[in-house]
Chain A
């Protein structure tokens, strides 16, 4: 996640990156450059056989036959099972805990609470967000005398079977003294509010501000100041696979291995080493098949530390914990949960001059890895795709007795996009303008574009994507038909959003930790190719995309390439898969490593073929062979020669592998235009989606089939936020949406047919020209759908409703509007 870096460092980063690639491209065109110089993928491989094509996925056969292995599918010899006792209270003191009966139960190996674990495992860590006044409470892996949200781990049972462990959990007797809970973040800021953490002065965890431009001037010049309060509700990520951990400590080897469903095995390894006070060299983390993440597995969780500690206590027997869905919804991380008070300075022609945004982020009871960083991204992205000169976000991060919030698909940007895209529609409604024209009036048009929040957008053509979307949706015709429908009394609405997002995280300067990604490309003596990537796919299809890139660079077939990820014992270094970074940053590392292997193979081929210096400088790959003059060697023969060690070219060493760390010079900024048409049922308040059209621009497409998949899935999650999903706590802090029976994840029947197209505006930040697409659909869709619903309700005088727009809320708004004079 991007750090809340001061705007200066981000701006500098952006400018530097925007210039360097152009210089590099010019020199690359002149002659075969040394590997240290930048070469663009499409210069090296002008006619790729795989990249850019809708290639079927390499990972699918194991997954469609049920042969893949997620954490719960792994079973080790002598494995023990862990179940966790969790707090039923939002806030309570643990007066006593009686565990003897549980300890004596059949099959139970041990029962563990804070005092047994605390010497083995420290607090749950967080990434440093660079916020000076940040208050971080004690966050143990098992509650230390006090629980602060429903679902907080209080004790763990280790037993011979999962059923035995679960039975024994019910035999633990805990006496709790309930304490006053605070659930509403605004009430939590009141001076007399109950405190979530008694050791802190109040519930304000941090405050932060980002601003740029002359706000006073903007608000003085405005024809009108528009005020609006907007809320991005609390959401549950709901990856279909819940979390799960297996840990084993081998005392003799002094080796801890942790198998866990994570997006960031390498970061987790580093952090576990700190929590457990074990040298990192003795910790191995393995992410097997991961069944979805959406940010909920971009973390370092109490259970990962706890299971590691338990593994040491019962060594060498492995321990396994598989999260239930109820635990997943109550005790992982939630997403969003921001309240924004907006002031918009606007002119009568639709020009926006400035935006003030005072934001309260409900962060829940603790800091998880990126809890504080996520809402700062909202502030950074507040400018959206527009060029208004002045903006300010003030942010208050507030503790409540709820589960912590953290990354959820989009992570800070859906909130920003929702705000700015609602603003465009509010301005249009205020001055009775077409929302399309208001957007055109305000678009940023010159790139690199500097925002008042300190970012430098790489490339973009927002109007092109908008125009294509308007055409795809037949916007003019649709507006005409809408007017007719309105005359008939029907509530038909059309909404759009022209989003921009921040991706390929990111330059290390703009991140809480390293923002690079690493890859190793390794060719064996028999010519089989391994790609080791530090990214950690959990559905994105990087095994396929990275094989496409490698096969094209090396002139081989995709099935000759095996992509390995997720095992820190195998992949030397990595950061992980999040922030739409895997292809843009990790894919570039793969490309650069493959390119270096290719260079060496050309030299080995020339040496093995006894080529002249002139021939050696012009070794070509044709039909899978390396040609020097009229003589050739197959790919496998070159690989063998590199390992045989008899014809090693001057200045080279035996072996055939290259590792590359790619450090991007800037973030990338994908964009697009989404249009949605809805009809609202006046009698029931139900929203039905009548059409959805999306034009997205994620730079150069590596695999259009997978891009469509990312966009579709993203839109489904954005639609879920707009219409259905909300994590609801009652006043006492009980989670009311604790199962999939109560929390409305969209089903197949909830989704309209999505008409998707693309524009292609390559980035110059990386040599692939890729921007990233993992979160685009989620970011673009929510405001398009909400804008459509509000547009449908506009004849009734309704200007804004908070999400989710479920029938009851819409129905009540219709009734209220009808009753108004």
Chain B
């Protein structure tokens, strides 16, 4: 794992305050702690996955101030005083119109259209798809494929994922 090396000057812990899935959390963290590890190991939000450590696969994608980012290449300290939404918080009733409160429309789409198999890429893929639909409510097939280029799936061949995003677009009133 390409984790930054610990040096004496960097080993002093930093106090950070982050709003995660609507709730504020305060922690003292090593400056080199990755945001991904902060979410998973400090907060127990293990729905965000680590697939490559090089920001290629996108399994670690979360919302940072409403923008989909890859948490494997951000430091926890960079999230200080900012808002994070992970897969666990995506379906919060207030987050999206059309949300059932239990599942976000994109989550529903993945279930309805068999948009996942092993499920490991799925949380990141869903966050990226949700971002895509915020930017383009009625995306074409090509726009969906381009919008998900930062997320790798080894199982599905992506076709059911494209259908899942279309399903969510319809559900959100765009499609």
Chain A positions within 8 Å of B, measured between CB atoms, are: 56-57, 59-61, 63-70, 72-73, 75, 83, 162-163, 166-167, 170, 238-242, 289-294, 322, 324-326, 538-541, 705-706, 708-709, 711-717, 739-741, 745, 747-749, 751, 753-754, 777
Partner among B30, B49, B103 whose Cβ is within 8 Å of the Cβ of A64: B103
Query: Which A residues touch B57, using CB under 8 A?
Result: 240, 325, 740
A294-B30 in contact (CB<8A): no
Q: How many residues of B contact A (CB 8 A)?
A: 61
Chain B 110-149 interface mask (CB, 8 Å, partner A; 1/0): 1110101111111100100000000000000100111011
Q: Is B50 an interface residue (CB 8 A)?
A: yes
Please determine whether B91 and A65 come into contact, CB atoms closer than 8 angstroms.
yes
Q: Among the interface residues A69, A324, A705, A753, which one has the most CB atoms of the partner chain B within 10 A? A: A324
Task: Establish whether residues B54 and A741, one from each chain, have CB atoms under 8 Å apart when the complex forms.
Answer: yes
Which residue in chain A gives the minimum CB-CB distance to B87?
Answer: A66
Closest 9 CB pairs of A and B: A66-B47, A291-B120, A63-B119, A539-B118, A712-B157, A539-B117, A66-B87, A716-B157, A73-B46
| Inter-chain contact B87/A751, CB cutoff 8 Å | no
Closest to A325 in B: B52
Q: Which of B57, B114, B141 has the most CB of A within 10 A?
A: B114
20 more CB-based (< 8 A) A-B contacts, given A748-B158, A753-B159: A60-B110, A64-B119, A65-B47, A65-B91, A66-B123, A67-B47, A67-B88, A238-B154, A239-B120, A240-B118, A291-B49, A292-B120, A293-B118, A539-B155, A715-B157, A740-B52, A741-B56, A751-B157, A751-B158, A777-B157
Q: B77: CB under 8 A from chain A?
A: no
B46 touches A69 (CB 8 A): yes
Q: Is the CB of A753 within 8 A of B157?
A: no
Measured CB to CB, the nearest residue on chain B to A540 is: B117
Listed by A's residue number, 10 A-B pairs whose Cβ atoms lie within 8 Å are: A56-B111, A61-B111, A64-B126, A70-B120, A289-B118, A539-B119, A711-B157, A713-B117, A716-B157, A739-B56
Asked whether A294 and B154 contact (CB < 8 A) given A65-B103, A163-B6, A240-B51, the answer is yes
Bound together, the chains give a CA A56 to CA B115 distance in angstroms of 10
Can you name the residue of chain B whose Cβ is closest to the Cβ of A239? B154
Contact call A712/B156, Cβ cutoff below 8 A: yes
Query: What CA separation (Å) do A336 and B126 show in the bound complex?
Result: 33
Which residues of B are in contact with A by a Cβ distance under 8 Å?
1-3, 5-6, 30, 32-33, 37, 40, 44-54, 56-57, 59, 86-88, 91, 103, 107, 110-112, 114, 116-123, 126, 141, 144-146, 148-149, 151-162
Known: A163-B3, A240-B153. A748 touches B114 (CB 8 A): no
B117 → chain A, closest Cβ, in Å?
4
Establish whether residues A241 and B117, one from each chain, have CB atoms under 8 Å apart when the complex forms. no
Contact across chains for A240 and B120 when beta carbons are under 8 A apart: yes
Residues of chain B with a CB closer than 8 A to A72's CB: 40, 46, 49-50
Q: Whose C-beta in chain A lies nearest to the C-beta of B107?
A: A64
Residues of B within 8 A of A163 (CB): 3, 6, 30, 32-33
Contact residue among B2, B110, B160 (Cβ-Cβ distance under 8 Å from A708): B160
Contact B30 A325 (CB under 8 A): no
- For B51, the chain A residues whose CB sits under 8 A away are 240-242, 325
Give the residue name and chain of the B residue nearest to A706 (CB): B114
CB neighbours (8 Å) of B120 from chain A are: 70, 239-241, 291-292
Within the assembled complex, what's the spacing in Å between the Cα atoms of A242 and B6? 25
Least CB separation from A327: chain B residue: B1
B161 touches A748 (CB 8 A): yes
A contact residues around B33 at 8 Å (CB): 163
Interfacial chain B residues near A63, Cβ < 8 Å? 116, 119, 122
